[in-house]
Structure formats: structure tokens, C-alpha cells
Amino acid sequence: MAGMMVAGFVYSQIYFHQQRRRDLKEIVQEIALTWQEKLHLSVIQTLQLEGIIISYTLRKNEIITANIPRQSKIKRLQIVQAREHQIIKKIMNEDQFAAYAGINRNIPDVTLDPITER
């Protein structure tokens, strides 16, 4: 009986994770297509950007949900964001990245806002 309960729990966690990842992938595809349109990215750049966004969104989420002090979260998120920008810079030309960085500065940081408001 306990084995079945554990198996059910594990299955539900795997399903939930897969569903969340699928939802995330759909959202990221929309975001990447928006960037493709705004920055005139190639198909390859857009696909690379999707992968980067997914990877770094998962990393940021781990930090946000970690049981660590708020200031530590903010510092870690800033480090991760800087790394993300370094990677994105490698797949874009100078003009594309300058436009990306400029637009990004004007978007509210929904990652940090909930943390800094506490």
C-alpha cells in the first residue's frame, strides 16, 4: 500500500513537472517569437533564445523558491541574469543585443519585484 502511494506521488510529481515544462515551453515560444519580430532574429537565433530563456527561467525559479534570505535571492538572481545576458549577447549581433537590452530595461522585473516588496 505504501509503495503504491509513493509511486502515485512520484508519478504525479513527474506529470506536474512535465506539464509545467510544457506550459513554460509554450510561453517561451511566444516570448521568443516576439523577440524575433522586434529584433529581426533568424530562426536559429530564435530557437537558441528559447533554450536560453527556458534554462534561465528554471534557474531563477529555483532561487526564488529557495529557503534563503531575501538579499541572497536578489544577489543570486542578479548574477544569474548577468550570465543569461552574456549568453544571449553571444547569439545576437551588437545592434540586436543593444535593442534587446534597451527594451529589457523598460520591462518591469517580475522576477525581482515580488522579492523586493517583502
Pairwise CA distance, residues 59 & 57, whole Å = 5
Mean confidence (pLDDT) of the chain? 79
Closest by CA to 55, choosing from 78, 9, 10, 24, is 24
Choice between 37 and 26, residue whose per-residue pLDDT is larger:
37
Pairwise CA distance, residues 45 & 66, whole Å = 31
Pairwise CA distance, residues 24 & 26, whole Å = 5
CA 14 to chain centroid:
20
For 118, the 3-state DSSP assignment is coil
pLDDT value of position 84: 93
Q: Residues 60-107: pLDDT tens digits?
A: 988 988 999 999 999 999 999 999 999 999 999 999 999 998 887 776
